[in-house]
């Protein structure tokens, strides 16, 4: 007997033919900053252009930012607890140094706190925070590599990222053949070999799950620049990981 | 479609943001090009592995220390 995979009412999340999707995020409905619904305040009574009304469309962070601006440190504490791990990961990926990453976490949140008034609310708080953190992290990286220019704007010329040369197939689930810490070493070593400008795009987009637009916004790059870096970053990582994961010559498909 | 043309659409294909027409073209290319099949599969796997493995965890004790330091400074008005 055939098992019916679809729930009644067409609730099945994925059509059967859909390819495996990686990095797919829940599709957030676009948040309108200009709600068409009735504004509870009459225009004459709202002299500022602060976003008001339509509370159901406001990201919960916005309310926390509002309260933090008003001096509520607990509201800011909530934001810190919500995002400190992500900021640490991003900082660690950029600086490749644990102490620097810790400093970045502190400095990024303190800077965000100081500059809360400048937060416009037309981007997510998280994206805005990531932008601050990325800048802090790049500053630290530059300090450690004095004389060496470090920028996410530099266009890194590389042969890799064109049509791949190393086209060996991988073993099935090759990552499971390594111990956890050995695998983590391989993954760190591999991603650390990317130029910082590629690394950060891959981390934000594929690891942290930001959209292309959010990544562009957080890095101050154009959308096409993010896209071209992402492709090259993905292909370079793929090529480098092939060393560890490819089928061995005697397994099959000897060419 | 050439391999370079396929590669130019690789990210959109992986992110599932190609039109049905383009998808059909890409699938046609995949049927006749083993190289691009391997590129697609291993690139997907690369992303999956990086998503699934936390490389830089923030230990709880350190995390609490950092939070306390941040909030102490905020309370002093930075
Ligand atoms: Zn091809």
pLDDT given for residue A120 in this prediction: 83
B47's enclosing H/E stretch is helix B34-52
- Residues of B with Cβ-Cβ distance to A23 under 8 angstroms: 14-15, 47, 51
Q: Cβ distance A104 to A131 under 8 Å?
A: no
The interface pTM score, or ipTM, of the predicted complex is 0.92
Residue A152 has pLDDT above 50, yes or no: yes
Beta-carbon separation of B16 and A73 below 8 A: no
Sorted by where each begins, the domain ranges of chain A are 1-147, 151-255
Q: Cβ distance A121 to A112 under 8 Å?
A: no
pLDDT given for residue A252 in this prediction: 53
Chain A interface test: which of B5, B40, B54, B55 (most A C-beta within 10 Å):
B55
Beta-carbon separation of B58 and A183 below 8 A: no
Q: What average pLDDT does chain A have?
A: 77
Q: What CATH number was assigned to the domain covering residues A151-255?
A: 1.10.10.10
**Spatial distance between the Cα atoms of A69 and A13, rounded to a whole number of angstroms:** 40
Beta-carbon separation of B53 and A102 below 8 A: no
Tell me the two tokens of residue A214.
């959010």
The CATH T-level fold of domain A1-147 is Rna Polymerase Sigma Factor; Chain: A (1.10.1740)
pLDDT given for residue A143 in this prediction: 86
Tell me the two tokens of residue A56.
């159901």
A67 touching B (Cβ < 8 Å)? no
Beta-carbon separation of B50 and A230 below 8 A: no
Which of residues A52 and B16 earns the better pLDDT score? B16
Residue B75 has pLDDT above 60, yes or no: yes
**Spatial distance between the Cα atoms of A88 and A99, rounded to a whole number of angstroms:** 10
pLDDT tens profile A172-207? 999 999 999 999 999 999 999 999 899 999 999 999
CA distance A45 to chain B (A): 32
Mean pLDDT value across residues A61-74: 92
In 3D space, the residue among A154, A88, A86 whose CA is nearest the CA of residue A124 turns out to be A86
Sorted by where each begins, the domain ranges of chain B are 3-77
**Spatial distance between the Cα atoms of A48 and A1, rounded to a whole number of angstroms:** 65
- Residues of B with Cβ-Cβ distance to A22 under 8 angstroms: 14, 44, 47-48, 51
Q: Cβ distance A230 to A23 under 8 Å?
A: no
Beta-carbon separation of B56 and A76 below 8 A: no
A235 touching B (Cβ < 8 Å)? yes
Interface of A with B in 94-113 (CB under 8 A): 101-102, 105-106, 109-110, 113
pLDDT tens profile B6-63? 999 999 999 999 999 999 999 999 999 999 999 999 999 999 999 999 999 999 999 9
In 3D space, the residue among A96, A91, A133, A134 whose CA is nearest the CA of residue A112 turns out to be A133
pLDDT tens profile A2-19? 444 433 333 443 333 333
Beta-carbon separation of A22 and B50 below 8 A: no
pLDDT band at A142 (very low <50, low <70, confident <90, very high): confident
Ramachandran bin of A70, using left for φ above 0, alpha for ψ from -120 to 50, beta for the remaining angles: alpha
pLDDT band at B76 (very low <50, low <70, confident <90, very high): confident
Mean pLDDT value across residues A36-60: 48
A208: number of Cβ within 10 Å: 18
Residue A235 has pLDDT above 70, yes or no: yes
């Amino acid at each position: 007997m055939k098992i019916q995979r679809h729930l009644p009412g067409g609730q099945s999340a994925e059509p059967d033919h859909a390819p495996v999707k990686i990095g797919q995020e829940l599709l957030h409905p676009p948040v309108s900053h200009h709600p068409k619904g009735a504004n509870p305040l009459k225009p004459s009574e709202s002299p500022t252009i602060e976003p008001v009304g339509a509370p159901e469309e406001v990201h919960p962070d916005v309310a926390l930012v509002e309260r933090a601006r008003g001096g509520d440190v607990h509201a800011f504490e909530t934001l810190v607890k919500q995002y400190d791990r992500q900021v640490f990961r991003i900082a660690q990926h950029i600086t490749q140094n644990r102490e620097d990453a810790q400093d970045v976490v502190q400095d990024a949140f303190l800077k965000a706190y100081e500059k809360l008034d400048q937060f416009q609310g037309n981007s997510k708080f998280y994206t805005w925070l990531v932008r601050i953190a990325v800048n802090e992290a790049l500053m630290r990286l530059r300090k450690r590599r004095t004389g060496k220019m470090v920028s996410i704007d530099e266009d890194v010329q590389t042969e890799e990222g064109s049509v791949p040369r190393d086209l060996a197939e991988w073993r099935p689930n090759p990552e499971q053949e390594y111990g956890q810490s050995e695998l983590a070493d391989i993954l760190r070593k591999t991603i650390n070999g990317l130029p910082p400008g590629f690394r950060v795009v891959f981390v934000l987009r594929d690891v942290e799950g930001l959209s292309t637009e959010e990544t562009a916004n957080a890095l101050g790059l154009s959308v096409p620049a993010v896209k071209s870096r992402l492709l090259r970053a993905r292909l370079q990582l793929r090529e480098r990981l092939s060393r560890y994961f490819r089928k061995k010559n005697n397994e099959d498909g000897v060419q | 479609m050439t391999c370079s043309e396929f590669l130019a659409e690789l990210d959109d294909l992986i992110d599932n943001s190609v039109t049905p027409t383009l998808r059909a073209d890409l699938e046609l290319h995949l049927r006749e090009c083993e190289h691009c099949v391997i590129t697609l599969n291993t690139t997907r796997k690369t992303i999956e592995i990086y998503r699934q493995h936390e490389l830089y965890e923030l230990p709880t004790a350190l995390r609490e220390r950092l939070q306390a330091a941040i909030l102490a400074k905020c309370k002093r008005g930075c």
